[in-house]
């Protein structure tokens, strides 16, 4: 199987090369191949200059001509991916690419449509800010109540989803809340989300952390919007087989 690793970056000159190198060094397991799609969201700190130097057949770099938000970067990556599964990898060092094989093994063991990394399952919860911890707890509780899931960490940055499903979902958002729209619509489509424990090395706002309390409120609105069916789950014209039915929209 083929894994498409989508790395979204905005002003990550200090870390982007290390993250790409660490991603390439990882052995996913027998039977897995990989492509890396780096999406630069109009960085202004020299990140783009570093990315222009890449000449590697495993890596494809996409440059946005203006800053359109992390969600649009993920959507660009999904549009260009060719893998059986896609995996979102942040361009900072909060999440370690060395854990990607855990996701691949979970797919092999369960045939999962989606696998999320949980910072809770391992029992070593680390957050720089109390509001970040309680925000994730609130988002996770809301997701489980609204969509009937049993997740422990819906705010995780490392998400793996089957490629055909990711491409068929009607993803409409451009900001951080796109990652929650993705979760909402995977669940609304009738698919379960498996979890694997992962480590987490949080960074501070001074180090470049970008998500804010305002984003948290937008995320809660996104959950309510999707639960109320205010946007279609699938793109128009797609036919995706869920556990129970075939959705034609």
Calculate the dihedral angle through the C-alpha atoms of 122, 107, 95, 143, rounding to the nearest 10 degrees: -70
pLDDT digits (tens, 9 = 90+) for 109-136: 999 999 999 998 866 665 544 556 767 8
State yes or no: pLDDT of 246 exceeds 60. no
Looking at residue 125, what is its pLDDT?
61
State yes or no: pLDDT of 221 exceeds 60. yes
Looking at residue 247, what is its pLDDT?
36
Looking at residue 216, what is its pLDDT?
77
Min mean pLDDT across 36-50, 61-75, 173-187, 226-240 is at: 226-240
148-153 CB contacts, 8 Å cutoff, 24+ apart = 148/187, 149/187, 149/192, 149/193, 151/116, 151/118, 151/183, 151/193, 151/195, 152/118, 152/120, 152/121, 152/195, 153/116, 153/117, 153/118, 153/119, 153/120, 153/121, 153/195
Q: Quick one: what percent of the chain has pLDDT higher than 70?
A: 86
Q: Is 62 within 8 Å of 40 (Cβ atoms)?
A: yes
Q: What is the mean pLDDT of the segment spanning 165-176? A: 97
State yes or no: pLDDT of 83 exceeds 80. yes
Q: Quick one: what percent of the chain has pLDDT higher than 90?
A: 78
Query: What is the pLDDT confidence band of residue 192, given thresholds at 50, 70 and 90?
Result: very high
**Strand pairing category for 85-90 and 159-162:** antiparallel
State yes or no: pLDDT of 159 exceeds 80. yes
Which runs of consecutive H residues, i.e. helices, occur in the chain?
A: 16-25, 47-52, 70-80, 100-110, 130-147, 163-168, 178-188, 213-227
Calculate the dihedral angle through the C-alpha atoms of 62, 68, 74, 76, rounding to the nearest 10 degrees: -50
Q: How far apart are CA 68 and CA 175, in angstroms?
A: 8
pLDDT digits (tens, 9 = 90+) for 10-58: 999 999 999 999 999 999 999 999 999 999 999 999 999 999 999 999 9
Looking at residue 243, what is its pLDDT?
47
Query: What is the pLDDT confidence band of residue 60, given thresholds at 50, 70 and 90?
Result: very high
Write down all domains in the chain, each with its CATH number in brackets. 2-248 (3.90.550.10)
State yes or no: pLDDT of 205 exceeds 90. no
Global pTM reads 0.89
Q: In the structure encoding, which two tokens stand for residue 8, read together? A: 């979204």
Q: How far apart are CA 139 and CA 87, in angstroms?
A: 21
Q: What is the mean pLDDT of the segment spanning 207-228? A: 80
67: left (phi > 0), else alpha (psi -120 to 50), else beta? beta
Mean pLDDT of the chain: 89
Query: What is the pLDDT confidence band of residue 217, given thresholds at 50, 70 and 90?
Result: confident
Query: What is the pLDDT confidence band of residue 239, given thresholds at 50, 70 and 90?
Result: low
């Amino acid at each position: 199987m083929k894994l498409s690793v989508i790395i979204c970056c905005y002003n990550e000159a200090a870390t982007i090369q290390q993250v790409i190198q660490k991603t390439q060094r990882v052995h996913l397991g027998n039977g897995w191949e990989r492509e890396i799609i780096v999406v630069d969201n109009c960085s202004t700190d020299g990140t783009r200059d570093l990315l222009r130097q890449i000449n590697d057949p495993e890596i494809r770099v996409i440059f946005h001509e203006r800053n359109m938000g992390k969600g649009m970067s993920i959507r660009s990556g999904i549009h260009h991916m060719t893998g059986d599964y896609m995996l979102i990898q942040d361009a900072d060092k909060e999440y370690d690419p060395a854990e990607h094989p855990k996701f691949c093994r979970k797919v092999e063991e369960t045939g999962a449509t989606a696998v999320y990394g949980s910072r809770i399952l391992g029992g070593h919860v680390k957050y720089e800010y109390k509001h970040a911890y309680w925000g994730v707890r609130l988002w996770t509780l809301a997701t489980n109540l609204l969509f009937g899931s049993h997740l422990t960490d819906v705010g995780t940055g490392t998400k793996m989803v089957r490629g055909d499903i990711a491409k068929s979902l009607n993803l409409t958002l451009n900001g951080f809340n796109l990652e929650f729209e993705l979760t909402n619509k995977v669940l609304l489509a009738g698919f379960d989300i498996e979890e694997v424990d992962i480590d987490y090395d949080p960074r501070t706002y001074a180090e470049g952390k970008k998500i804010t309390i305002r984003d948290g409120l937008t995320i809660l609105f996104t959950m309510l919007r999707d639960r109320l069916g205010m946007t279609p789950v699938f793109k128009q014209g797609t036919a995706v087989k869920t556990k129970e039915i075939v959705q034609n929209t």
